[in-house]
Amino acid sequence: MLFAPELLMLIGSLVLFCLSLGQGKVNLARYASLVLAIASCFLSLATLQMSGNLFYDAYHIDTFSQLFKLAISIGLVIVLLFSGELKGVDDRLRPEYFLFMILSTLGLMMLVSSVELLTLFIALELSSYSLYLMVPMRDDHGGMKMQMEAAIKYILFGVVATGTMLYGMSFIFGMTGTTYFSELVPKMHEFASTPTALLAIALFMSGFFYKLAVFPFHFWVPDVYQGASNATTAFIASVPKLGAVAILIRITTLVAPTGGEAVVNMLMILAVCSMFYGNLCALVQKDIKRMLGFSGISHAGFVLLGLLTLKDTGYATSMYYIAGYVVMNLACFLVICKVSKNGENVSIDDMSGLYKRAPILALTLLVGMMALAGIPPFVGFMGKFMLLTGALRDGHLALVILAALNTAIAIYYYLSVVRVAFCSPPEDRPDVPVDLTTRCVSIALIAVIIFMGVAPKQLLAFAETAVRNIF
C-alpha cells in the first residue's frame, strides 16, 4: 500500500505502451491516462497519513512525500482534462505522448520519496528523459522546426545540470561515505561551514535549480516554452516544479539549522537575480507562453525566499506558494490551449476581445493573471505576503524591498494581458468554443485560487506538519 500510487502509474505506463503499438487507439490512450491520473489522486490521498521505508531504506513514505504526490497527480489530471485533444501533436504520436507524460509523472512521484542519492538520480532521469521526448513531438506547422531547436536546448542544458549535480553528489559521498539522507544530515552538519561542503551542496542543488528554472539555470525556459506544444508547455511549466521544490527542501536540511550562512547568501543572490531577470525580460514579450516562461523564472526566485530561512515555517510557505503557482499557471495555460485553434502559439494580441468571444475563459485568464501578479484576495498575493514577512522576520530587509519592487514590475505585464482581453475589440477574431469539461475545470481552478488565498491557515499548518516529518 505504501508504494500503491507509483505501482499504479508503473502498471498504467505498461498498459499505455501496449496501446501505443497499434493504430487508432488515441482516445483509448487518453481515457486510460485520465483514469490513471484520477486513481493516483485517490491513492495518494488514501496513503497521506502512512509512513514507512521501502527498498532497503532508499525510499521513504511520509506525509511530506504523499502530499507532493497528491499535488503532482492533481496537476496531471488538470493538464489531461483541458489538453486532452492534444492540438499541435500528430495523431500517430499521441499514444506515445500520453505514455511519456505518465512516465514523467511516475519519475516525479518516485523523486519526492527518494532519500538516497542514486535512487534520487534515477527518479530524476526517468522524469527528465520523458519530457525530453515530449518536446519534439509537436506538429511542424510553419516548417520552422521550433520544436526541434527547443528539444535540443532542453536536453543539452539538462545534461549539463545533471552532470553538475552528480559532481556535487560525488563530493558529498566523499566527505560522508554514505548516500543515505538519514546518515548524510548529521555528518554534513559537522562539515557544514567548510568550503568543500558548501561547494558540494551548491553543485547538488544545481540539478533542481534547472527544474525550477532558477537563474542561472534558466536559459532553456523561453525557447522550450515557445517551441513545445501548448499541452507540453503546460505540463513542463507546472508539475515538475513540485518535485524540484520537494528535493530542494531536503537538500537545505543538510545545512539547517547551523552553518548555512553561505548557502543562505547564495540563495539570496539567486533569488534576486531570478526575480529581476524574469520580470524585466517578460516586460517586452509578445508571445504569451514566452512571457509566462520568464514569469516562471521570477516566481522561482520567490520560492527561494522560503527556502533561505532554513526553518520549517519557511519550507511550508514555499510548499504553499509552489502549489498555488501551479494552479495559477494551469489556469492561464487552459486559456492558451483553448484560444489556440490548431495548436499554434498564442500572442498577447490573440486575446483581444476574449470577454466577448469566451466569457468563462476571459474570467479564468483574469483570475490567473491577477493571482500571478500578487493581487488580493488570490493565492499569489497571500503566498508572496507570507514569503516576504518570513524573510523580513529573519532580518533580510534589503531582499524584501527588492522582492516587493519586483512584484510591482510584474503587475505591469500581467495586467497588460488582462487589458487586451477585456478592453480591446475582438475585430474579426471568431468566438472560442468552450465545452462542458473546460467550463468545469475553469470554475474549479478559479475556486481553488480564491480559496487558497482567503483561507491559507489550515493548508500552511498541514504543510508545516509534513515538513517536520523530514527533520
C-alpha cell at 156: 543539452
Alpha carbon distances (Å) from 410 to 133, 212, 216, 402, 403: 32, 19, 20, 12, 11
**Which of 272, 267, 128, 279 is CA-nearest to residue 210?**
128
- CB of 184 within 8 A of CB of 236? no
Give tens-digit pLDDT for 6-20.
999 999 999 999 988
pTM for the full model? 0.92
Mean pLDDT of the chain: 89
Alpha carbon distances (Å) from 179 to 54, 121, 127, 205, 303: 15, 11, 21, 15, 27
Q: Which amino acid is at 296?
A: G
Please, what sign has the CA dihedral across residues 278, 204, 211, 143?
positive
Could you say which DSSP state residue 194 is in? S
Angle at 109 between CA 244 and CA 240, to 5 degrees: 35
- CB of 363 within 8 A of CB of 442? yes
Q: Which domain holds residue 98?
A: 4-468
DSSP secondary structure string for all residues of 249-261: HHHHTTT-SSS-H
Q: Which amino acid is at 264?
A: V
Alpha carbon distances (Å) from 119 to 56, 144, 173, 255: 11, 39, 14, 21
Q: For every one of its 471 residues, what pLDDT tens digit does the chain have, with 9 covering 90 and above?
A: 889 999 999 999 999 999 888 777 788 888 999 999 999 999 999 998 888 899 998 999 999 999 999 999 999 999 999 887 788 787 788 889 899 999 999 999 999 999 999 999 999 999 999 999 988 888 876 566 788 888 898 999 999 999 999 999 999 999 888 999 888 888 887 877 788 888 888 899 998 999 898 988 888 999 899 888 888 999 999 999 999 999 999 888 888 666 578 888 889 999 999 999 999 999 988 889 999 999 999 999 999 998 888 888 889 999 999 999 999 999 999 999 888 888 788 888 888 888 888 889 999 999 999 999 988 889 989 999 999 999 898 888 999 999 999 999 999 999 999 999 888 888 888 888 888 888 999 999 999 999 999 988 888 988 888 888 777
Number of domains in the chain: 1
Please, what sign has the CA dihedral across residues 71, 113, 385, 365?
negative
